[in-house]
Structure 1
Amino acid sequence: MFTAAAPAAFAQSSGDLGAVQSTATSDSTGAATSTKAQTAPAQAPTQGSLTASEPKSIINKNYIQNSTAPTSNYSDILQIAPSVSSVNPNGPGLMETQSLSIRGFQDGQYNVTFDGIPFGDSNDFTHHSTSFFTAQNIGGIAVDRGSGDASQIGFATFGGTVAVSSIEPSLTPAFSVLGSYGSWNTWVTGATLNTGDLEKWGDARAVVGYTHSSSDGALDNVGQRRDNVFFKLEKPLGNDTLLTLYADYNKIFQNTSVGATAAQIRRYGSSFALNGDPTSQAYSGYNFDRINTDFEYIGLQTVLGGWKLDNKLYTYGYYHDGFNGMDPNGETPNGTSFGADNVPGTQMANNYRAFGDVFSAEKELGPGTLKLGGWITHQSNFRDNMNVDDTLNFALQQMNYTMNDTFLTFEPYVQYAWKLPYGLTLTPGVKFVSFSRSLNSPLNQKSGEAADFSHTWTKVLPSLTLHEQIDPHWSAYLQYAQGFLAPNLNVFYVPNASVSGQPSPEQTDNYQLGTTYKTDRLTVSADLYYINFRNAVTSTTVGGNTVFSNAGGAVYKGFETEATFYAGYGFSLYGNLTFNSAKQKSTGDWMPNAPSQTAALGVIYDRGPVHGSLISKFVGHQYGDTGNQQPIGGFMVTNLAAAYTIKSPTTWMRNTRIGLEIDNLFNRTSIDGLAGYTAQDNTPLYWTIPGRAVFATVSTDF
């Protein structure tokens, strides 16, 4: 929407750098195919990679720009991919995603990276989809469904990796503006400046952008205001070195909902959430988040002594003040220590800062390529929670907990890609994971006592992949890898967290095989997977608080496929289909939020100035809780998008794009997720699909 030069595949060369490429670290399509728009790889919403050694779905800028709403987050964009389901009850990007599932693995059980840098919360490694990045500074997304080889770093090395990449500065200068308006009084405005190639500055190029959005939201009184500014500079230092500077700042105010009971949905409709009554615990003025975030890194790529070196030194911060009514669903009567009719509520803070470094080095050595590297990160976090009197402007009643925690993660790895005859490459590798967690609290969560605990978990993780490049358009792979996830901070929410009593980490053995075929006419991928999961941790939300439990062993297995066929005259047909199983070993019960099937079907048109798409996504039957409780029926949502680009409407305007997006075309508003339970009566709370939404967008370059 913003940039004039969005690449069809999001790994892009940088000027005259010779041996070094840009810092967007997501995989390219790996295709020996044309880059023109009338091909299957260019039009595919998702596609596999010819070079990947595990199931991978690549989503390029073309799909993000033309087939998603301008308010979308990465979670909204990637839900088109195989085995992915997402719950966004307030509309695209207008509320934190409540359940983003990949093969049944939940947020915190897979990695999310930005330009190759893993990030996440310190307590449970989850992510805040409305924080940090917007659709306007995302260049593409690759969804790796699996633990990958030894070089795949992150907190959760078995559930997969969502690899988000930043946009690339364009080679030509452009100043772009965007405006959008749509359902629920949703506004998006913004501007982006691309400097183009600055020859007098040593072929440096930069992009800087700003986006403002506001919306009333699909849910009643659940509004959002958001501002984002980002900057990226790429500066060649000679022919073999590239310096990259990136910075991103995000400020958001958003009302928060905890879901609605079935009775409330039946009586008031699927949009029931908050109200405008200051005497109610569901008053919108008592239920909101204020969040400020930043994300910065310095990247350096170079070639030295035959080694290709890549290093990123980074920091990111997250500062969150949250306010909620004590019981927005009405089961707890009003009354505080300050007054019998006063409105009770809660207030929390979650502030953290992370510093880290990601390094890799590779060199052609003998009959293959040696690659080694590592990741080190340290995060410090302050958290507190208190009961307040909302009527008296959040006056303190009782401190529930206050704590400081830290963790230190170190993941070095080494692997060797041994090139064999007949296009075969055998890659053994090993990664060492060390995870140290500490907690210091004068008032610990749950126990209510002082706490000063620390512990370190370590694990050696082997991997082995066999990749065959059958011909320039066809490849296959076989993979085995072990996965690891350190325990949640909640293991320290006890009176005495002895070292000997610490639980074992979540661990997996991952087996995968698959194939990818890609030409201008057709791109198709398919795979089978089997995952033996030990110490599977599940969670349930009760009264707004998340409770964790160990479900024991589980087996995840399934079949996945995706394909795009270019039919000619600008038309392509797209589809994906998965059959997934995620069940506990001891009981045979389904794991929570693990759909039994996902599918997508659509048609894309891209020829000349016209782009259009009609795509349906189906998510199959699932359960919202352990023990086959809270069944959620299957549902399908259809989105329609169309755009027309005028190359030169005036002498001072170019690439003027007029777009229309209709989400949930058939207005399906059924229940699509379990939100948790009320604290008073343990009544189930649900999320629903947001109703039909229409967004009109205009953008142009100057």
Structure 2
Amino acid sequence: MLLHRRFPSPTLLALALASAMLPSVHATDAATPADAATTTAASDHVKNLAGIHVVATAPRVAEMPTHVSLKAIEPKSIIDQAYIDNNAMPMDSYSSIAALAPSVVDVEPNGPGLGNNKGFTIRGMSDGQYNLTMDGIPVGDSNDFTHHSSNYFMPQDLGQVVVDRGPGQASTIGYATFGGTVSMQTRDPLAHTTTEVYGGFGSFATRLAGVKFNTGTLSNGGSGYLDYRQLRSDGYLSGATVDRSNLAAKFVQPFGDATTLTMLAMRNTNGGSNAAIVGATSYPYVSDGNYPYTSGMPGQMQVFGQRYGLSNDPHSQAYTGYNYDHFNSDFEYVDLASDLGAVTLDNKLYTYSYYHRGWNGLDPNGGNMDYGQLSGPAGSIGDGTFPAGLGTPNGTAYGDNNIPGQKMYLLYRNWGDLLRLSQSLGPGELGYGVWANKQLYHRYEAEIDFSLGGALNPVLKGSDPVTQATDRRIDGTFWVIQPYLQYAWHITDQLTFTPGLKYVTFKRHDVAPIQQKVRTAFDYSQTWKKVLPSFDLHYAITPEWSAYLQAAEGYLAPNENQYYVSNPSTANQGLQTESTKNYQLGSSWQNGTWSLSGDVYAINFSNQISSRKVGKETFFTNLGGTRYRGAEVEGSVYVGDGFSLYANASYNKATVNKTGLQLKKVPKTTAAGGILYHAGPFSGSLLAKHLGVSYGDTGVDASGNPALIYRLPAVTLVNLSLNYTMQHGGLLPRGSRLGLRVSNLTNQTPLIDETSTANGVPLFYAVAGRSVMGTFSLPF
């Protein structure tokens, strides 16, 4: 508790923003309802009431699931607010919103938005190998640069989600830009005062309720909003409950015509058992991890059903009451943007945090009785329903039948500044800036006895039971500094060449009374540095058609796990820094009816690190060189009478040089397509995403040669959305919206991802079954 109090209260900025929005004198309070519904963008055909879109006539490019930019210098899929409002589940995360984009794979076994995703990849790049930003600010864990999709913004506050499938320019900053960037952009405040009450009810006892207040434009020209919602659900999987609340506030204050100050704060609280779900065994893959990787034994999914997650038996390590998590996260920044004449400036001063406290059975789903659901006493061999010797029996220092478990925390806070400047210089624009981020983190894990109310369980013999029960206690800092310089040289009115340089510095310093695995005191620091060049050519062939060529180097500092050895100064002999060389060529074309883009890419990866989850631990292996080769295409067309068509397809070959095998969990093909309707008060869509065959892991074949194992079949998931917006007042206010969302309409539930118990027995996630949700929004 004392450790948690080291960090400043994340609610202070939210309260300050709320106070700033309290003044009651508005410059536009007298506006008529019709005036209040008009958007500021002249090209928009939409009228906006409290974030609810009232459709006038035909849909535009912005309402497609994704659209492209003619100014793009790399493949980019832009998902705008109109699509989020009209089609997303009200509890969706950024990953489930972005899932439709080319080359994107998203695994959400507990249902869309109901827990952290388990397998979000871009072109086969896994979490930690791509960049995630919120309003341009990079975020990521301290240990492996991964992310937690259910602990950030909710869709009611997202104005845009952008999937950049490339390393970007020198100005693209972040931990791992080479794998692409997923950008969340928050919504801007509305120009007129509104209050919106919204929510939804649906499958798995899911219910969401929220209220959003927009100040409108105040007498001093500022505007802001305050948005709060509560989400609760039993989840698709047994025992996978969700209890989430989210508060977001944003305030924008202009100073004259050249300067704008923006303040934003977000606070997210998430609890339940959703993060402890570790998968379930499934026939024919209940095996001992050796060839032929199959067993005649039925799996947990066959015995307990496809929705098995955790047990309701308190004698089991898989008991839902022993496997639960609590998360607190916050994100705040102050942004000053100004046109200083010769130079434009944009500076964001920010902080964000992630506090995770968790408890789990020693090996959930890894017992040695009743298909892994129960555990016999210490020393027992089990009842034969789990592979012999690979279950985890009960037993602690206090008794053979006592329930062993673990408790942990990962607490980190970031402080940083992102400064960007640009100016005209000769026949182009010069861009330069710097990103600096300091992260302070605290990691802890200890063995406990659930039978004794969570008492410490000293698994090793020694004079100090606290130390002998502690697996790790680490205090550390992680510094990132990335200055950049780039120049956009307009060779002609149509051709622009942009070279750039980015200098990346990563420094990690661990002070550990108990270092993980080594279990000794530890104090060590290391720094990694590299210059990363990039260039791109952009050619505007016509006003409707453009093409680009891009090349860049990428780099990623080693994960925290590199320090879990006796001598970390030699650890990088096995786990070296990851680096890439990225190349891609593409083209985009659009007019008032059509939008079409395509690209080909090649990525050469050195020292690629592959991770494997074994129980609660993640182990890393250096695959050496890997090669990514692929092609992507996406397009949309308005066919008339309110109907539009959308489609995309991708081919993603990702092979390990020394084996020639495709990377595990990476389908070679993905595709999406569907129909959208938007006219008058009605809107809707029927969209499908197809994922090709992939494999859960690598092993050997009958001859001992490397081989892909645990085949995960292809699947096509169909989502349906229907909306009706009242354009005239009556029983409900004008602009009220009623909606229906159906995820996985055809109820496809094949295996989709693989992990394992602490003893290496394969566990699987299946696609979450059909979920139906009714939604409403009432503006006042």
TM-score normalized by the length of structure 1: 0.93
2:269 aligned residue (251, 256, 263): 251
Partner of 1:298: 334
What is the DSSP-based 3-state SS (H/G/I as helix, E as strand, rest coil) of the residue aligned with 2:190?
A: coil
Partner of 1:161: 181
Partner of 2:492: 421
Contact kept? 1:670, 1:689, Cα under 8 Å:
yes
Corresponding letter in the other structure for 2:586: G
Shift in alpha-carbon separation, 1:220–1:402, aligned structure 2, 3 A: same
2:305 is aligned with 1:234 = no
Distance 2:160 2:667 in 1: 25
1:413-562 maps to which residues of 2 (within 5 A)? 413-421=484-492, 423-498=494-569, 501=572, 503-562=575-634
What is the DSSP-based 3-state SS (H/G/I as helix, E as strand, rest coil) of the residue aligned with 2:562?
A: helix
Identity %: 45
Partner of 2:224: 206
Contact kept? 2:563, 2:571, Cα under 8 Å:
no
What is the DSSP-based 3-state SS (H/G/I as helix, E as strand, rest coil) of the residue aligned with 2:114?
A: coil
2:714 is aligned with 1:634 = yes
Distance 1:344 1:31 in 2: 63
Task: String of CA shifts for 1:379-424, please: whole Å, max 9, x gaps.
Answer: 0100011111112221111111111121100000011101122500
Distance 1:633 1:319 in 2: 36
Corresponding letter in the other structure for 2:350: Y
Contact kept? 2:684, 2:721, Cα under 8 Å:
yes
2:775 is aligned with 1:697 = yes
Corresponding letter in the other structure for 2:761: T
Deviation at 1:147, TM superposition (A): 0.5
Structure with bigger gyration radius: 2
1:209-358 maps to which residues of 2 (within 5 A)? 209-255=227-273, 256-262=276-282, 263-329=299-365, 330=367, 331-358=391-418
TM-score normalized by the length of structure 2: 0.84
Tell me, which stretches of 5 or more residues in structure 1 are unaligned? 1-14, 17-29
What is the DSSP-based 3-state SS (H/G/I as helix, E as strand, rest coil) of the residue aligned with 1:535?
A: strand
Partner of 2:79: 59
Corresponding letter in the other structure for 1:369: E
Corresponding letter in the other structure for 1:437: R
Q: Which is worse superposed, 418-427 or 368-377?
A: 418-427
Partner of 1:602: 674
Partner of 2:758: 679
2:116 is aligned with 1:117 = no
Corresponding letter in the other structure for 2:362: M
Partner of 2:11: none
Corresponding letter in the other structure for 2:750: S
Partner of 1:569: 641
2:702 is aligned with 1:622 = no
Distance 1:591 1:109 in 2: 14
Distance 1:55 1:360 in 2: 23
What is the DSSP-based 3-state SS (H/G/I as helix, E as strand, rest coil) of the residue aligned with 1:536?
A: strand
1:162-177 maps to which residues of 2 (within 5 A)? 162-177=182-197
Distance 1:476 1:321 in 2: 48
Partner of 2:744: 664
Shift in alpha-carbon separation, 1:91–1:235, aligned structure 2, 3 A: same
Partner of 1:10: none
Task: String of CA shifts for 1:104-149, please: whole Å, max 9, x gaps.
Answer: 0000000000000001101100001111211121111111101111
Task: String of CA shifts for 1:175-219, please: whole Å, max 9, x gaps.
Answer: 000121000000000000011111x2x210001100100000000
Tell me, which stretches of 5 or more residues in structure 2 are unaligned? 1-25, 28-40, 47-55, 283-298, 368-390, 458-468, 700-707
Deviation at 1:77, TM superposition (A): 0.5
Deviation at 1:365, TM superposition (A): 1.2
Distance 1:74 1:392 in 2: 40
Paired residues in the alignment total 671
What is the DSSP-based 3-state SS (H/G/I as helix, E as strand, rest coil) of the residue aligned with 1:454?
A: strand
What is the DSSP-based 3-state SS (H/G/I as helix, E as strand, rest coil) of the residue aligned with 2:300?
A: helix
Distance 1:504 1:34 in 2: 52
Contact kept? 2:59, 2:679, Cα under 8 Å:
no
1:647 aligned residue (703, 707, 727): 727
Deviation at 1:33, TM superposition (A): 9.4
Partner of 1:93: 113
Contact kept? 1:430, 1:460, Cα under 8 Å:
yes
Contact kept? 1:40, 1:522, Cα under 8 Å:
no
Task: String of CA shifts for 1:21-74, please: whole Å, max 9, x gaps.
Answer: xxxxxxxxx999977762441321011111110010000111111111111111
What is the DSSP-based 3-state SS (H/G/I as helix, E as strand, rest coil) of the residue aligned with 1:640?
A: strand
Shift in alpha-carbon separation, 1:651–1:640, aligned structure 2, 3 A: closer
Contact kept? 2:59, 2:678, Cα under 8 Å:
no
2:92 is aligned with 1:72 = yes
Shift in alpha-carbon separation, 1:37–1:445, aligned structure 2, 3 A: farther
What is the DSSP-based 3-state SS (H/G/I as helix, E as strand, rest coil) of the residue aligned with 2:83?
A: helix
Partner of 1:388: 448
Deviation at 1:647, TM superposition (A): 2.3
What is the DSSP-based 3-state SS (H/G/I as helix, E as strand, rest coil) of the residue aligned with 2:624?
A: coil
Shift in alpha-carbon separation, 1:264–1:336, aligned structure 2, 3 A: same
What is the DSSP-based 3-state SS (H/G/I as helix, E as strand, rest coil) of the residue aligned with 1:345?
A: strand
Deviation at 1:316, TM superposition (A): 0.4
Distance 2:119 2:199 in 1: 29
Contact kept? 1:150, 1:413, Cα under 8 Å:
yes
Partner of 1:26: none
What is the DSSP-based 3-state SS (H/G/I as helix, E as strand, rest coil) of the residue aligned with 1:77?
A: helix
Q: Which is worse superposed, 511-520 or 98-107?
A: 511-520
Shift in alpha-carbon separation, 1:626–1:438, aligned structure 2, 3 A: farther
Deviation at 1:652, TM superposition (A): 7.6
2:153 is aligned with 1:133 = yes
Q: Which is worse superposed, 618-627 or 595-604?
A: 618-627
Distance 1:459 1:485 in 2: 10
Distance 1:483 1:569 in 2: 46
Corresponding letter in the other structure for 2:566: P
1:133-152 maps to which residues of 2 (within 5 A)? 133-152=153-172
Distance 2:101 2:410 in 1: 31
Deviation at 1:626, TM superposition (A): 3.7
What is the DSSP-based 3-state SS (H/G/I as helix, E as strand, rest coil) of the residue aligned with 1:498?
A: helix
Deviation at 1:636, TM superposition (A): 0.9
Deviation at 1:305, TM superposition (A): 3.3
2:433 is aligned with 1:373 = yes
Shift in alpha-carbon separation, 1:187–1:577, aligned structure 2, 3 A: same
Task: String of CA shifts for 1:456-481, please: whole Å, max 9, x gaps.
Answer: 10010111100011222211100000
Distance 1:189 1:517 in 2: 41
Contact kept? 2:63, 2:80, Cα under 8 Å:
no
What is the DSSP-based 3-state SS (H/G/I as helix, E as strand, rest coil) of the residue aligned with 1:87?
A: coil
Partner of 1:6: none
Q: Which is worse superposed, 32-41 or 378-387?
A: 32-41
Q: Which is worse superposed, 261-270 or 173-182?
A: 261-270
Q: Which is worse superposed, 644-653 or 156-165?
A: 644-653
What is the DSSP-based 3-state SS (H/G/I as helix, E as strand, rest coil) of the residue aligned with 1:371?
A: strand
What is the DSSP-based 3-state SS (H/G/I as helix, E as strand, rest coil) of the residue aligned with 1:552?
A: strand
Deviation at 1:640, TM superposition (A): 0.6
Distance 1:655 1:522 in 2: 29
Corresponding letter in the other structure for 1:122: S
What is the DSSP-based 3-state SS (H/G/I as helix, E as strand, rest coil) of the residue aligned with 1:391?
A: helix
Distance 1:103 1:89 in 2: 21
Corresponding letter in the other structure for 1:441: A
Distance 1:435 1:239 in 2: 39
C-alpha RMSD of the superposition: 1.8
